[in-house]
A and B are shown apart, each in its own frame.
Chain A
Amino acid sequence: MSSSSTTTTTTRLLMLKASDGVTFEVEEAVATKLGAINNMVEEEGSEDLICLPNVNGKFLGMVLEWCKKHANNNTNSDKGNDEVNKWWDKEFVMDLDQNTLYHLLMAADYLSGTELVDLLTEKVASMIRGKKVEEIRETFKIKSDFLPGQEEEIRKKNSWAFE
C-alpha cells in the first residue's frame, strides 16, 4: 500500500480474453471504463481471467485502445481534456470502414462502453444526416421493399416546403 506517494497509485492488471483466444493485459482503471467489465470486477473480483466470448480480438483491441486514451487523458486533469478527447475521438472514427464500425459498435454495446457507443452511433447517424433517400440506401446497401406506388404515396404525404 503506497500511502506516501500520490502519483504512483496501485495499478492492478486485468486479463481479458477475446472470442478468438487473443488475450489483453490492461490496467483496471482502463478496462473498468467499460460498464460490463466494471460490473464483473465489482461482483467477482478481478483475480481470474475475464472471458469475452462475444468479442473478437481485433475489435476488443480497438475498444481497449479507445478506453486507454480516455483514461489517460482524464488523469491529466487539465481544462483542455475535453478538447483533447474530442479531437482524439474524431480521429478514431474518421477512417473506419462500415464493417469495422458495426463490429466495433456491437463490441462497445456488449461491453457497455456507453461513451464509445455514443461516439459510434453518432458517427453512423452523421452518415445519414442530410442525405437523400437514394444516397442513404446506397450507403447502407438497403433495398427498397415498398410495393410500387407505396413510396410515392409516402413522398406525397411528406412533400417538402423548403426545397
Chain B
Amino acid sequence: MEGCLKAGAKSLKFAIRNCQQAPKAKRLCPNSKDAEINRFVPLPEEIEEEILLRLPADSLNKCKRVCKWWFDLINDPSFINKHLLRATIENRKPPSSSSSSSFSFFLKWIIPQELSGEDNYNPYGNDLSKLVLSLVTVCEDNDGNDGYLPCVIEQVNLPPIPVIEGEDFPTNFSVFHCNGIIHMFDNVKNWTSILLNPALREFKLVREPDLPLPPKYEDVMGCGFGYDPKANLYKYVKVFGDYLFEDPVAMVHTLGTNSWRKIKIDVEEDDDCFLQPGGVYCKGAYHWLKTSRMGNTILSFDMSEEKFRSIPLPDHHSRRRSKNCLYILEVWKESVVLVNRTERSSFEMWVMVDNFGGIEGSTHWIKHLKIGPLARSDCPLAFWKDDELLFETKDGQVMSYNLYTKKLRKVPLSGGVRRGYTCATSCLSSLVSV
C-alpha cells in the first residue's frame, strides 16, 4: 500500500522516473531543409556542441526545450559523457585558470530546534520537516568577505516519497556522490536508497526485489553507488551480512535495467564487525571502512569486475581503536583518503596509493598532512575542493577550511544546523540520468 508523505514545505516537483532508461536519442536532424532553418546560428556542428558543452547541466536541461536539434544533441549519450568529462576536468583545475568553472557541494542538514525531553532521548528523532537538502554553488569570483563563503544556496525539495507499510521512514540520511548523482541512504533504517541528480531535478528510489536470502541476511550492512567505467554503466550495490561477516552476500543492480545479481563476498570471517555508513566511490570502485574486533580494513567493491576485496589500513590504524577515534573516508585529488583525529581538534590525512589497479596487496598509504588544530572544529564532513574541507563546528555551523592558507569561512546557513546530523559531499553538475 502506498501513501504520500510530504517532505519539505514547498511544492514538490521532481520528475520521478521509473527504472527504464530513456531510449537512446537519435539525431532527428538529417539533411532536410527544415533542419537547416532550425539549426542554431550559422556555426558548424562541432562548434555548436563545443558551446553547449560549456553550460552547466541545469542550463542544458532548459536548452532541451529550445529546439529538436538541441534536444537530441543534449540527450545523446556521447554528449553526456563529454559533458561529464569536461566537468570533471574543470573541477580539477585551479580556480584562476578557468573563468567559468564553479564548484558545488550538497548538504544534508537539520534545522536546530528547541528540544523537548523526548527528542533528547531519541538519537534518530530528527524531524523530517526539519530536514533540509541544499545544493551550494561556490562563487569564488566575488571574494568572500566577513568570513563567509561566497555562494548560492538552492534548496532541493524531494517529491512525495511513497511510504511503505510497516517500515519507518528514513530520516538519518547520509549523502554520497558519483558523477553528479547524489545517493542518500539511512544506514539505521535499512530502508531504501534515494538517487537524485539535483541539476536535472531527477529522482529515483532504489529498492531491491524481495530477496530469496536466508534470514541471517536480513541485515543490510551498507550500500554504495558508482560508475563502471568499462561498461559505461551505473551500479548500485547493497551488502547483506551479520556481525560475524559469515558468508556475506551483496546484491548488485545495474541502473536502467531490471537486473539484480547476487554476489558472494569473498573475504575473511570477522567478529563484531560493521561497515561505517560513510563510504566513497573513487575510480571505478566503492570503498567502505569496516571496523571489527579483528581490526580495521577497507572493504572495496570493483564496479566493473563486480568483485570484493579487503584493503589494509596504514599499519597502526589497523588495530581497533577506542570508539572516540574518528575515522572518515573521503576522496581527495581522485584518491581515497583516510582522515582521522589525532588530538581533540587535529586530524591527519592518509592517501591511498594503488598503482596496480586493485591487485591484492598492491596498495599502500602515504601520510599526507596534518590538519588543524582547529579551535572550533568538531567533525570533518567532506572536501568540496582539493584544498577546502567542510567541517561541522561545535556551535552548529558549517565551515570551510583551507588546508594550505588555513582560512576558515562560514557557509551561510541562517540559524545554523543541528549538531551531529550534517552530511556533505562535493557534487558535479552532470547530465547523467538516474
Chain A residues at the B interface, C-beta cutoff of 8 Å: 82, 86, 98, 102, 105-106, 109, 117, 121-122, 124-126, 128-133, 136-137, 140, 142-146, 151, 154-162
Contact = CB atoms under 8 A, between A and B. Distances in A.
B38 A145 contact: yes
Given A142-B66, A158-B201, A162-B155, A121 B37 contact: no
17 contacts: A105-B47, A106-B44, A106-B47, A121-B47, A122-B54, A122-B100, A125-B54, A130-B59, A133-B66, A140-B41, A145-B69, A146-B71, A157-B15, A158-B15, A158-B200, A159-B13, A161-B156
Contacts, number: 103
A33 B162 CA distance: 59
B154 interface: yes
A159 B156 CA distance: 13
Contact of A144 (B41, B66, B154): B66
Interface string B136-160: 0000000000000000001111010
Contacts of A160: 13, 201
A161 B59 contact: no
Nearest to B46: A109
Given A125-B54, A161-B157, A102 B43 contact: yes
Contacts of A144: 66-67
A24 B55 CA distance: 36
B50 A162 contact: no
Interface of B: 12-15, 34, 37-38, 40-44, 46-47, 50-52, 54-56, 59, 61-69, 71, 96, 99-100, 135, 154-157, 159, 200-201
A142 B50 contact: no
Contacts of B63: 128, 133, 136
| 3 A-B pairs with least C-beta separation | A125-B54, A145-B38, A161-B201
A50 B100 CA distance: 35
Nearest to B64: A154
A117 B50 contact: yes
Contacts of A133: 62-63, 65-66
A52 to B, nearest CB: 17
Contact of B51 (A125, A132, A154, A161): A125
Contact of A122 (B12, B99, B157): B99
A44 B412 CA distance: 60
Contacts of B99: 86, 122
A141 B32 CA distance: 19
A160 B52 CA distance: 20
A143 B59 contact: no
A122 B55 CA distance: 9
Nearest to A110: B44
Contacts of B68: 145-146
B45 to A, nearest CB: 12
A143 B38 contact: yes
A98 B41 CA distance: 9
Given A128-B52, A129-B56, A143-B67, 19 more contacts: A102-B41, A102-B43, A105-B47, A109-B44, A121-B50, A126-B100, A128-B55, A130-B59, A132-B62, A136-B66, A140-B40, A142-B38, A142-B40, A143-B38, A144-B66, A144-B67, A146-B67, A158-B201, A159-B13
A132 B55 CA distance: 14
A92 to B, nearest CB: 13
Contacts of B66: 133, 136-137, 142, 144
Contacts of A124: 51
Contacts of A142: 38, 40, 66-67
Contact of B42 (A102, A122, A146, A158): A102
